[in-house]
Structure 1
Amino acid sequence: MVNYATDPASSRGRRHPEPASATRTVFQRDRDRIVHSGAFRRLRYKTQVFVAPDGDHFRVRLTHSLEVAQIARSIARALGLDEDLTEALALAHDLGHPPFGHSGEDALAAALAPYGGFDHNAQTLRIVTKLENRYPGWDGLNLSWETLEGLAKHNGPIHLPTWAMVEADAGFPLDLASHAGLEAQVAALADDIAYDNHDLDDGIRAGLFTVEELVAEVPFTAASWATVTARWPGITARRRLVPELVRDQIGRMVDDLLAETRARLAAAAPQSAADARAAGRPLVALSPALVAETRALKAFLRARMYRHPRVAALRDPSQLVVAGLFGALHADPAAMPGDWGAGTPASEPDRARHVADFIAGMTDRYALKTFERLIGPSPLPSDIAI
């Protein structure tokens, strides 16, 4: 590793001290705890873009997180950073997403508006510091300071933390106003690279748009498509060429990120991970030219996929499910199973936040089953698969 990588031997430790492992570094243990968590397993049935897709090949939160981890780890290896910390951050970055993706998050944020609001990034911290209860000695997963810091700040410094972030920070201060380490910066951009390209793949598979439409409107993709079709002139099957297109675009983005990041590292010359955090700007980045070049791809996906009528038609019903669940469970917390119902705080805002914790942990299918049990027929179409 290079001198500006985060060194597991120099970790700031855990909130609750533990003996060192004879076989794994502190960051390897963090990664393993995340993989073995209930919240990670539930990502299998949480919406990425499509609600409860019936096609086996569409992304869900779990497969998206695995793909982000692969890209992030490859970048970390090329830059000489700590691969295990990078992988842990990539695997955990979406743990706080409620059911039904951003639609569910919007509904939960509206329900919690009188109680301080909701956002999935802070909820991730809440899960790994409080809600996962797999150890007899403490709440949460007792992750290292560096992993918690990276999860909190992978999108940049936090100057106005939400209540949930303040709560997580209070017990184990994470220097929220500074930049995160380089591994967290890698994980954040790997997320961008993954969803831009894999959403493109899923959109074509779902028939929301064609390769020809994409190429006509997005010069960045047109260049990759020209490269791919020239490389394989005898291949006409889209099922073979589209994955090659996705690989080509990911490769171009990763190569650009590595070149831009190496230039920034050379200019800043950090001599430690602390120097990298104190640089005053992200040192892991895509070049301004590529950011501008891919803006049309993001705009295309926003217009032709995220706002497509077949996707948008499920947005309001999904929000009705989440809002309905919050209303019903907030009025009658005893309807929550086991310790969730029995352990409901009596006063606000803790009562509302406790109910939101339960709902945010639901998978799409569990949310629908609970809605039908407590309220009635689901507002979602009987066939909700895209």
Structure 2
Amino acid sequence: MERAPYAADPAATRGREFAEEREGTRGPRSEFQRDRDRIVHSIAFRRLRSKTQVFIAPDGDHYRTRLTHSLEVAQIGRVIARELGLDEDLTEALCLAHDIGHPPFGHAGEKALEEAMAHAGGYDHNAQGIRTLARLESPYCDHEGLNLTWETLEGMAKHNGPVVAPNWALAEIDKAFPLALGEWPSLEAQVAAIADDIAYDNHDIDDGLRAGFIEMDDLLVLPSVADQWRAVERRFPHAGRDRQQRELVRTQIGLMVNDVLTHTREQLAGIASADDVRAAGRGLAGFSPSMREEERRLKAFMYDKLYYHPEQIGTAERARDVIARLFVAYRQDPKLLPDEWLAQLPDGDPGRSRHIADFIAGMTDRFAIEQVRRIYGRAPEGLSNV
């Protein structure tokens, strides 16, 4: 499909924070393809394979992690971007990078770091993702970070809309390389955000059913889901229940994607350029009002039945304690840090606490558990309920 006039154009990028001399030496790729590849090749991206998505440190191999979730988001994002004539590579880069700032144990770990960092500016996983790729992940000899394009960093910062009050991590990047935080982002960033919603809304159902935290009969209280389930049963009456459930998930994803495409095309009337997208004063890519309401009810159901399930809450509290104990240990005895991290430890706060939080945020679930065992003499118990 031809590039739409409102798509981001890699040939017209606003550039990178640091000038580079290596153009033409790494193959025939666009600037956004380079960004995508830098993200995929990063250590931070590889660590997502052992970070919590829904279930903390799962024993089973079939549950999603942050890595598999990010790949699924990218697949959905590329489909939507292609149909709308957007830049698929920028969309994919944003989808793949959107969860890189998550600490171990998902939102439980993030809550622990928020509390531990209250005196040092707090913690936000979205800002931490940008900090990780723009400062901490530094494989190049001539600059800090991955030196991603303005459009990729902008999309990471604002994929949920303009940022009115950036936390310290995002504010530092914005000061060095202004990202126009008060404007709406590109359509590619907006598509990445809605692809994330579509992926976790439906794939978390899949994992919840597999783990037994959700029963199909519970899901059928949602009228839209019940309608699709009855249609699946009519089409495939002799299929096993497991296959029918997976067909339901695929059907739900298809319905949401088609709704986004129809509604977004309607919203793009009169939009003639990428600048028009940013000047629109509202999000343009997303669900129709009716689908948005159905999705809101689905999210409420998932919080009630899965995310706030008593077993999940208990496991999350234990995981939160792991992160809190690690932060206290490194603050009290910095020599527990690896030598390369100890060598760069600032003398005082807030820099010292932020440095420790950077180290903890990069951990996988497994590594965090091992560090608690090493420091405190025994591994924490009850950190997996599937």
TM range (shorter): over 0.9
- Aligned counterpart for 1:263 among listed residues 255, 261, 266: 266
The code of the aligned residue for 2:300 comes to A
- Aligned counterpart for 2:100 among listed residues 95, 111, 131: 95
Q: Distance in 1 between matches of 2:91 and 2:287?
A: 17
Aligned residue for 2:296, secondary structure, equals: helix
Unaligned runs of 5+ in 1: none
Q: What TM-score, normalized by structure 1, do the two folds share?
A: 0.97
Answer whether contact 1:334 1:342 (CA < 8 A) is retained: no
Q: Distance in 2 between matches of 1:26 and 1:366?
A: 34
> By how many angstroms is 1:380 displaced?
3.0
Q: Distance in 2 between matches of 1:373 and 1:81?
A: 49
Answer whether contact 1:220 1:297 (CA < 8 A) is retained: no
Answer whether contact 1:109 1:118 (CA < 8 A) is retained: yes
The yes-or-no answer on 1:208 pairing with 2:200 is no
> By how many angstroms is 1:385 displaced?
4.1
> By how many angstroms is 1:243 displaced?
1.1
Q: Distance in 2 between matches of 1:316 and 1:380?
A: 12
Misfit runs of 4+, over 3 Å: none
Deviation track 1:214-254 (CA, whole Å, cap 9, x = no partner) reads: 11x2112111112211221222x122111110010000001
The yes-or-no answer on 1:355 pairing with 2:356 is yes
The code of the aligned residue for 1:7 comes to D
The code of the aligned residue for 1:193 comes to I
Deviates more, 1:331-340 or 1:141-150: 331-340
Aligned residue for 1:313, secondary structure, equals: helix
Aligned ranges 1:67-216 → 2 under 5 Å? 67-215=72-220
Aligned ranges 1:1-386 → 2 under 5 Å? 1-18=3-20, 19-21=22-24, 22-215=27-220, 217-235=221-239, 237-266=240-269, 269-381=270-382, 384-386=384-386
Q: Distance in 1 between matches of 2:159 and 2:299?
A: 20
Q: What TM-score, normalized by structure 2, do the two folds share?
A: 0.97
What is the aligned-residue identity percentage? Answer: 56
Q: Distance in 1 between matches of 2:157 and 2:278?
A: 14
Q: Quote the RMSD (CA, aligned, Å).
A: 1.0
The code of the aligned residue for 1:48 comes to Q
Deviation track 1:27-71 (CA, whole Å, cap 9, x = no partner) reads: 000000000000000000000010111111101000000000000
Q: Distance in 2 between matches of 1:17 and 1:223?
A: 55
The code of the aligned residue for 1:15 comes to E
Aligned residue for 2:203, secondary structure, equals: helix
Q: Distance in 2 between matches of 1:55 and 1:335?
A: 31
Unaligned runs of 5+ in 2: none
